[in-house]
Structures are given as structure tokens and as C-alpha cells.
Chains A and B, each alone.
Chain A
Amino acid sequence: DTAVSQTPKYLVTQMGNDKSIKCEQNLGHDTMYWYKQDSKKFLKIMFSYNNKELIINETVPNRFSPKSPDKAHLNLHINSLELGDSAVYFCASSQGLAGAWDSGELFFGEGSRLTVL
């Protein structure tokens, strides 16, 4: 009964490759996010979608492209992987917009650890 599930959990790949991480939530939430957590544990928002519409697009290289086929899914595709892309990527969801009254709690997935060699 996982609320926010992401696959794969671990991903090891070579520089220059292209990879994807998939995320699905079964909570019926309208908003989904991708966060990047670096080696110092800092959580940085990358993208946010509300009802399949992109609402937050932080300063992220255009090698990163999110895709939301429906409001229960938000996938992350990364082209031409670089060493600095190594991190843990978290998918999250919330009923409303982040922090919105009574609907803004974030639910995180368990993370996908990407290692670029």
C-alpha cells in the first residue's frame, strides 16, 4: 500500500548515458514534485506539477525533463548524465499546493539513489 512509489531505488550508470526515474502516487493528490538531495542532505526542489501542469521549474539544467502523463504519475528523464548528477532523487506529492491550508502536507517516496561513474 505504498503511497508514493518510485523506481528504481538504485541506479548506477556511466557519464553521458540517459536514464529515467518513475514515480506514482495512489493518494489521489493533485500536485507532484521532484526534489534532489545531495551528499550534504540538502533538499532542493526541481519541479512541481499540479494536475499535469508544470508550476515550478527551478534552475535545473535542461538535460532534466519531467513528464506527467496523468496526475498520478511524474517521471524524470535525465540526458547526458554528469558526475554532479549523482544524488538521491525524491518524488513527493501533496493534495493541494505545497503548504496550502489543510492540503499542503508533502508525502515523499523512498528515494532513488543515482550514481554516475
Chain B
Amino acid sequence: GENVEQHPSTLSVQEGDSAVIKCTYSDSASNYFPWYKQELGKGPQLIIDIRSNVGEKKDQRIAVTLNKTAKHFSLHITETQPEDSAVYFCAASTGNQFYFGTGTSLTVIP
């Protein structure tokens, strides 16, 4: 089955700086890569996703890149704000089920 690895497990940045979280996957059949944000005491919520037919997608301060050849994808958050502090999960799917990464706890220091 699919194996998704996520790094780093924890990340601290100063407010205003950028944050990058990286994931790799093993199954070349995976074609959908969402990113979820989980705030304290809440369920994960989709923030951005990318399909295998594009290499990059941007939504305001958040962007995701995908390298199908290397089987890795990354989440980029620019101009970080304290409200970006949360646990972020990457995931990969072949269209049947999601395989989640192990999560990154992001802390934005004011």
C-alpha cells in the first residue's frame, strides 16, 4: 500500500517568515494530494489540494508543489501569522482511500 512520509514533525518560525513542510509518497498511482490543518481540539480541515496533472497551486499565502517524478510534494506558507499555528497533515490518494502523513506541528512565534 501507499506510504506517506512527512517532515519536519515540528516547526517553529517567526511571524512573517515562511514555513515549508515536505512529504514523499511511494505509490506512483497516487493522483490526489490534499493538505489538512488541524487546530487544537478540532477536526482536520482541508486547506489546499493538488492533482497529479498540475505541478503547483496557490491560494493567497498558501501554495503546494508536486514533483511526480521524485514522488514528493510540499506545502509553502508565506508571511506566517499566529493563527497559522496548528498541526498540518499531508495525504495521498489513488482514488480509493487517503493515506496520511504523520503530521507537522507548526508554531508561529509573534
Q: Give A residues with C-beta under 8 Å from B.
A: 4, 40-45, 48, 56, 90, 92, 97-101, 104-111
Residue from B43, B46, B87 within 8 A of A105 (CB atoms): B46
Least CB distance, B23 to chain A, in whole angstroms: 13
**Interface SS of chain B: helix, strand, loop or mixed?**
strand
A105 to B102, Cβ gap below 8 A? no
Q: Give B residues with C-beta under 8 Å from A.
A: 31-32, 34, 36, 38, 41-46, 49, 51, 87, 89, 93-98, 100, 102-103, 105
Set of chain B residues within 8 Å of A109, measured between Cβ atoms:
43
Set of chain A residues within 8 Å of B97, measured between Cβ atoms:
45, 48, 56, 97-99
Give the residue name and chain of the B residue nearest to A41 (CB).
B103
B96 to A106, Cβ gap below 8 A? no
A110 to B102, Cβ gap below 8 A? no
Least CB distance, A7 to chain B, in whole angstroms: 14
Interface centre among A56, A109, A111 (most CB of B within 10 A): A111
B43 to A43, Cβ gap below 8 A? no
B94 to A99, Cβ gap below 8 A? yes
Give the residue name and chain of the B residue nearest to A35 (CB).
B100
Q: What total count of A-B pairs have CB within 8 Å?
A: 68
B95 to A104, Cβ gap below 8 A? yes
B32 to A40, Cβ gap below 8 A? no
The CA-CA distance from A42 to B101 in the complex, in Å, is 8
A105 to B34, Cβ gap below 8 A? yes
Set of chain B residues within 8 Å of A90, measured between Cβ atoms:
43-44
The CA-CA distance from A4 to B44 in the complex, in Å, is 12
A108 to B41, Cβ gap below 8 A? no
B44 to A108, Cβ gap below 8 A? yes
Q: A97-B96, A99-B97 are in contact. Are A104 and B44 (CB under 8 A)?
A: no
Residue from B46, B49, B95, B100 within 8 A of A43 (CB atoms): B100
The CA-CA distance from A67 to B51 in the complex, in Å, is 32
Q: A99-B95, A104-B95 are in contact. Are A42 and B103 (CB under 8 A)?
A: yes
B43 to A99, Cβ gap below 8 A? no
